Amino acid sequence: METVGLNAGFWSGKRVLLTGHTGFKGSWLALWLRELGAEVTGFALDPQPGPNLYELAQVGRDIKDARGDLRDLGALLEVVAEAQPEIVLHLAAQPLVREAYRDPLGTWSSNVMGTLNLLEAIRQVGGVRSVVLVTTDKVYANQEWPWPYRENEALGGHDPYSSSKACCELLAQSYAASFFPPASHAEHGLALATARAGNVLGGGDFAAERLIPDVLKAWDAGHPVTLRYPQAVRPWQHALEPLAGYLLLAHRLYTEGPVFAGAWNFGPAEGDMCSVGDVVAHLSRQWPDSPGMRVEPSDLHEAGVLRLDSGRARQLLGWRTRWSLRECLEHTLQWHLAWKRGDEMRAVTLDQLNLYAELS
């Protein structure tokens, strides 16, 4: 399979360590890597209780599945030493803004110390050539301005989740400069980059306090969905869009080294950066007799406007989005209805993955 600049010939047989493979994005990425022929070792906590993409799509069927906590350096050293990865894709994290308010210590320790432990395991074991650390679009010091953020904008983070991910960006910069500097790349052989994606949607996301799972759960029960910030603007995109970016970036880091290091944005087209209320309205047009929405404002801070400029990825990586917001919501709803019907979800998931992959 070749798609969006991805080369199955490159990925075939590559040893890849993927953290967070039991999560929503991680499950999609693990399936994609296997379709490309990579030898995948996953390291993550158990998947969330209840329905989850990892189990529904049988992701663990043809990868090496290691369970553990990123805060356990010994466990990470063991997995890295055994897997001997050439490429590391780090997706594992505590990813929810409101959960971070409830458990800031757990969020900072998982996201910051977990990332530190992974980098230290990579440094100690050696042999890794390409590392992509996934953070978030929320790492920027949000000024609530209407234009999109570029990679050279100031980092910040009002809430604990955003702050923890901004810390990961600084940590990555420090490790790259201290232990994997470009000037000595011929000696250590490793190139490291961070990836900042927008708000991802797609089939198989059952997480609490995320927009589309909340909408579908409420509408399945015949209730209007409760929205906290219907006016909030976010960069919406299907999960496969940034995942394609991570794969392209990992490839270029591997083959061309630190010239592709640093931070990269992977966000949607400008027209798909719309409000929460607009997204729900889009989805309701595809859902006959949808119960609609109601608003219950929250006193917890969340950014009002957040847009990403992905010009660097488009120009230097040749990456671009393939599905509009309308198409993204259509595929997400189709996946959900297939699950409700009791369809075989590995086949459904792979069909959508291959549909995306056929675009060029």
Give the class (CATH, top level) of 8-358: alpha beta
Amino acid at 332: T
User: Do β-strands 233-238 and 273-275 pair in parallel, antiparallel, or remain unpaired?
Assistant: antiparallel
The chain-wide mean pLDDT, for the chain, equals 93
pTM: 0.95
- Considering only 49-53, 135-139, 288-292, which range has the smallest mean pLDDT? 288-292
Share of the chain above pLDDT 70, in %: 97
pLDDT 10s digits, 248-304: 999 999 999 999 999 999 999 888 888 999 999 999 998 878 898 898 877 666 667
d(CA 225, CA 269): 26
Q: Which of 192, 166, 43, 45 is nearest to 111 (CA)?
A: 166
**Active-site entry in 161, 175, 246, 254:** 161
User: With 80 as the cut, is the pLDDT of residue 307 above it?
Assistant: yes
Is 356 among the residues known to form the active site? no
User: With 80 as the cut, is the pLDDT of residue 79 above it?
Assistant: yes
pLDDT at residue 4, rounded to an integer: 46
Band the pLDDT of 198: cuts 50, 70, 90: confident
Region 181-197: mean pLDDT is 95
User: With 70 as the cut, is the pLDDT of residue 360 above it?
Assistant: no
User: With 50 as the cut, is the pLDDT of residue 3 above it?
Assistant: no
Share of the chain above pLDDT 90, in %: 81
pLDDT at residue 229, rounded to an integer: 83
**What are the boundaries of each domain within the chain?**
8-358
